[in-house]
Each structure stands twice: as structure tokens, then as C-alpha cells.
Structure 1
Amino acid sequence: MNALSSEWLKIRSVRSSYLIAGLSLCGILLGLGLAWMTADMYDRAAPAQKTGARLAALEEVVLIVPQLCMGIMGVLAMTSEYTTGLVRTTLAIVPKRWPVIAAKSAVIGVVSLLTGSLATFGTYFVCRSIIGDRFAGIYLVPFADKLPLLIAFSLTVPTFGLLGLGLAAILRSTSGPIVLLVSLVYVIPIIAGNLPQPWSDRLGSVMIGALPREITGVSTIDTVYGSLLSPAAAVAVLVGYSLLPVVIGAWLLRQRDA
């Protein structure tokens, strides 16, 4: 409990934490801007163009903002202690070491979940109010039907937070984990989408971006992702992304010198 209080104090006493959380919520503003722009383009289009116009779910498009921000917060929660040398004091107070990772994981997980939920649901409601019945009524789907997918989207944000924390504990650097996080969002999905079948679907199905749709049974057509996993398997993969790097990082922390 003392370790948990200590880690919460560390997070909330650093200005960068508030900056990162604020940037995460800026995803709502990005969604608002995209919704306003696309609605204006739709209204200006010819009737024939409106008939075939389609729009991606904007809350999914801007989800990368809180994902990457919380991933970076997870990285900094670990590497900042190595940079300042505070890790020696931390490990002297908590010699078993694994409670340090556990406490950091709990704090980052809760902060990321709250931030991700606010960003996801906030973007959805803003876009729903602006888009209305445009684009074949993409935002006219009843909220109750959309809720499971929105929850699944929100859960990917703490996944990135814990993934960043775990990778930082493994690599003990700031740049390496951030590059890996960006690759998971941008680079690897593009590579997967351009591989020959069946490897494109196989790799695309285990990408974090595919898991919310696989968990909820929503089609991944018109995306770079595959849809080969069952809901239970997709949940297991999402949990693996969240916990496996943290467990490995905790084990390495016990084996290494500070």
C-alpha cells in the first residue's frame, strides 16, 4: 500500500503527467475538427456523391492520440527514475522490487483507463452531435449497440500504458520503447496489410488495433487488420500485450543492479 501511495505521488507531482493527460484529451478536439470538416464537405457535395460517401468512426481514428500519450507516460514512469537516479532510493526502500512494478502498473493502468474512456466517449458524443444523419447514418446506430465497441476501444489505452511501462523496464531507455509503441500503431499494421495472404490476416488479427472489433464481433472490413481471432482469444491477446512486458520487466528488475 505504501508503494502504491508513493507511485501515485510521483505521477501527480510531475508536470509532464498533466501535460500528457491533457494532450490525450486533445483527441476530443481533433475529433471535433475532423467531424466539422467532413460534415462541411458532405453538405457541399453533389447528391450523387452523398449517396456513396462513407466515413470511418472518428473515435477510432483519433484513438491513437490517447494510446500513444499514455504509452509515453508509462515509459516515463519507469525511465525518469533511472535518469534522475531515484531508482536507487526506490529499490532501497522496497528491496523486493516487484511491488514497485506492481504499484506503477496499478497507477498507470487506472490513469490510462480514465483518460482513454474520457477521450473515446467524449470524441464519440462530439462526433455524433456534429455528423448526425450524414454518411449513411454511421452515427445513428443506437448507443447501446455501440457501447461494447467503445468500451473495447477504451481498454486499448491502458494496454498501451502498461506496454510502455513494461518495455521501459525491459530496455531501461526512453527512446527504444517509444519507437516500438509508434511502430505498433503505424508501421507494423501497414506492413501486415501489405503481406500476401494468409499472413496479412494472421498478423493483422493480433494487432492491438484489431482486437476491439474482434472482441465485440464487429467487422474489420475496409481496415488493414484481420479478424481471425474469437472474442475470447482476442481478450487473451489484449491481456498478453498488457501484462507480459510488465512481468518480464519485473523479473529483469530483480536480476539487474539499479
Structure 2
Amino acid sequence: MAQIAFGLLGGLVMTSEYGARTIVATLTSVPHRARVLGSKAAVLVGVALPVGVLVSLAGFLIGQASLSGAGAPHLALSDGAALRGIFGGGVYLALAGLFGLALGAVIRSTTATVTTLFGVMLIVQAFAPALPGAVGDWVSKFWPPIAGGRIITAFRDPELLSPWAGLAVMAGCVAALLAAAFIVFRERDA
């Protein structure tokens, strides 16, 4: 659910200005559109990354306390996999925010951005196992939110990407979408 919240925050950074038509005033005062979008992305990451790390840390501590209380195997905060999951989870959530920002810049509608975010981040993941053969295998391995989410797992499935490779797939997808957002934002009228 945190990935949706961060994605929605990123989307609203763009679409709220289009909805209220304040984007016209923003672009009048700062006509260099790449600076506007770049500044929005920088502020979003500046907020999302530390908050994402805190959310990941809280989730880890609560989850491990529950596992420990039930007598199940659990990780200590000092374990490498735990630290990777906490800091990688923060990076993943910041990437989800940038994904939402890029979608919002391309789509410009809050409703359509929210719908697309839900489809990309939740619906495809839910139906990936039901997809036929090679398509389902590919989606389960390379779909950006699924691949990026590997960063928070301690279990190593040889059929799936490693945690850092999965996060790289997510980052590459976000970078490509941000590049498209910069092009569309520069070329389109407010």
C-alpha cells in the first residue's frame, strides 16, 4: 500500500496543478519547463526517500517483532538483508513517487493517473500468476514494481531477479518514463 501512497503523492505533484490550472502561473513565472519538472522531482525525492526509509524501518520492526513473538525465524536489524531491505525499500518508495510524477506529467489528469497507477502497481501483479506460460513468467520476473519489490525480500528465488537487479529494472523504467515526461512536458501546451 505504501507504494501506491508514494505513487499518488508523485502524481498529485503534477496533476493538482493541472486540475486547479495553477500550472499556467507556474510556467509563466518559470518558463524553463525542464527546471520546473526537475525541481518537482528533486523535492519529491527529498521528501519521499527519508520518509520511505522510515516507513520501511517501521514495517521491518513491526514485522520482526511479530515474528519473534510467534517464535518464527526472524532477522535482526544488524543483518545485511535487513539493512538492504530497509534502505532499498526507501529507494523503491522514492522510485514509486517518481513513477507517479512522470505519469502525472504525461497524463495530466488525476483520475487517469490514479487509475494507471493502480493498474500498473497492483492489478498486473495480482494477475501475473494467471497469465499464460512465458508471458506470466516474464511479468513475474521483469514487471518493474514486481522486480523492484525484490529489494525488500530476504528469500532468494533463483527464478527471479536478485534484489539489486530488480531495483535496477524499476529504476530503468522510471528513468525512461521520466525522460518521456520531460519531452512531453516541454512540447505540450499548459
The TM-score bracket by the shorter chain reads 0.7 to 0.9
Q: Is the counterpart of residue 127 in structure 1 residue 59 in structure 2?
A: no
Corresponding position of 1:234: 166
Correspondence for 2:33: 97
1:174 to 107, 110, 118: 110
The equivalent position to 2:181 in structure 1, one of 227, 241, 249, is 249
Higher relative contact order (CA 8 A, sep 6+): 2
What is the TM-score of this pair, normalised by structure 2? 0.86
Q: Is the 8 A contact 2:56 2:85 kept in 1?
A: no
CA distance in 2, matches of 1:213, 1:70: 18
8 A Cα contact 1:159 1:241, kept in partner: no
Counterparts of 1:211 and 1:81 in 2: how far apart (Å)?
A: 29
Shift of 1:217: 7.6
Partner of 1:143: 78
AA matched with 2:166: A
Give the whole-Å Cα distance in 1 for the aligned partners of 2:184 and 2:147.
30
CA distance in 2, matches of 1:181, 1:249: 15
**What is the one-letter code of the residue matched to 1:172?**
R
Q: Is the 8 A contact 1:76 1:174 kept in 2?
A: yes
- What secondary structure does 1:219 align onto? coil
Residue 219 of structure 1 is matched in structure 2 by: 156
Distance 1:140 1:80, change over 3 A: closer
Give 5+ residue unaligned stretches, structure 2.
none
C-alpha distance in structure 2 between counterparts of 1:217 and 1:239, whole Å: 20
Structure (1 or 2) with the larger CA radius of gyration: 1
Report the Cα offset of residue 160 of structure 1: 1.2
Gap regions ≥5 residues in structure 1: 1-63
- Stretches of 4+ aligned residues off by more than 6 angstroms: 214-217
| CA distance in structure 1 between the aligned counterparts of 2:19 and 2:77, rounded to whole angstroms | 49
Q: Which residues of 2 match residues 77-116 of structure 1 at below 5 A?
A: 77-116=13-52
Matched residue type, 2:150? R
Q: Measure, in 1, the Cα distance between the counterparts of 2:129 and 2:8.
A: 26
Deviations 1:145-171 (A, max 9, x none): 321122222221111111111111101
In the alignment, structure 1 residue 162 sits paired with structure 2 residue 92: no
CA distance in 2, matches of 1:214, 1:79: 29
Residue from 188, 192, 195 that aligns with 2:131:
195
Matched, 1:209 2:175: no
Per the normalisation by structure 1, the TM-score is 0.65
Q: Please tell me the root mean square deviation across aligned C-alpha atoms, in Å.
A: 2.4
**Alignment check: 8 A CA contact 1:73 1:161 kept:** yes
Q: Which is further off, 145-154 or 161-170? A: 145-154
Give the letter aligned to residue 143 of structure 1: S
